[in-house]
Structure 1
Amino acid sequence: MNAPDNDFRGRIGRIETLIDEIECFADPVAQEQAREIVQALLEFHGAALANLVGHITAAGPPGRAIMEQVAQDELAANLLLLHGLHPHDLDVRVAQALNQVRPQLQTHGGDVELLGIDGNVVRLRMQGSCHGCPSSAATLRQTIESAIFGAAPDVASIEVEGVVEPANLSSLLPIVTLEPALAGGNGQHENRP
Structure 2
Amino acid sequence: MTDVDEVGARIEQLLGGFSGTDAELAEDLVHTLLEFYGAGLARIVEVVDRPVLDRLAEDDLVRGLLVLHDLHPRSTHERVAEALDKVRPYLGSHAGDVEFVGIDDGVLRLRLQGSCDGCPSSTVTAKYAIERVVREAAPEISDVVVDGVVADGAGPAETGPGGRPLLPLCPVEVP
How far apart are the structure 2 equivalents of 1:15 and 1:144?
24
How far apart are the structure 2 equivalents of 1:12 and 1:108?
33
Indicate conservation of the 8 Å contact 1:134/1:163, yes or no: no
Which of 43, 46, 52 aligns to 1:51? It is 43
Q: What letter is aligned with 1:163?
A: V
Which of 26, 30, 46 aligns to 2:22? It is 30
In structure 2, the CA distance between the partners of 1:18 and 1:66, relative to structure 1 (3 Å rule), is closer
Cα drift, residue 24 of structure 1:
2.8
Which of 3, 7, 14 aligns to 1:21? It is 14
How far apart are the structure 1 equivalents of 2:121 and 2:80?
24
Structure 1 partner of 2:83: 97
Cα drift, residue 94 of structure 1:
0.9
Q: Which whole-Å deviations, capped at 9, do the CAs of 1:31-71 have from their partners, x for residues lacking one?
A: 22222221121111101100000001xxxxxx111122222
Indicate conservation of the 8 Å contact 2:110/2:147, yes or no: yes
TM-score for the superposition, normalised by structure 2: 0.76
Matched, 1:80 2:66: yes
How far apart are the structure 2 equivalents of 1:136 and 1:8?
34
Cα drift, residue 121 of structure 1:
2.3
For the residue of structure 1 that corresponds to 2:27, the secondary structure is: helix
- Spell out structure 1 runs of 4+ moving beyond 6 A: none
* Greater helix share, structure number: 1
Structure 1 partner of 2:138: 152
Mapping 1:57-68, distance limit 5 Å: 63-68=49-54
Greater RCO between the two (CA within 8 Å, min separation 6)?
2
Provide the alpha-carbon RMSD of the alignment: 2.4
Mapping 1:128-147, distance limit 5 Å: 128-130=114-116, 133-141=120-128, 143-147=129-133
Indicate conservation of the 8 Å contact 2:18/2:26, yes or no: no
TM-score for the superposition, normalised by structure 1: 0.69
Q: What letter is aligned with 2:18?
A: F
Structure 2 partner of 1:190: none
Residue segments in structure 2 that go unaligned for 5+ positions in a row: 157-175
How far apart are the structure 2 equivalents of 1:14 and 1:161?
33
Question: Which of the two has higher C-alpha Rg?
Answer: 1
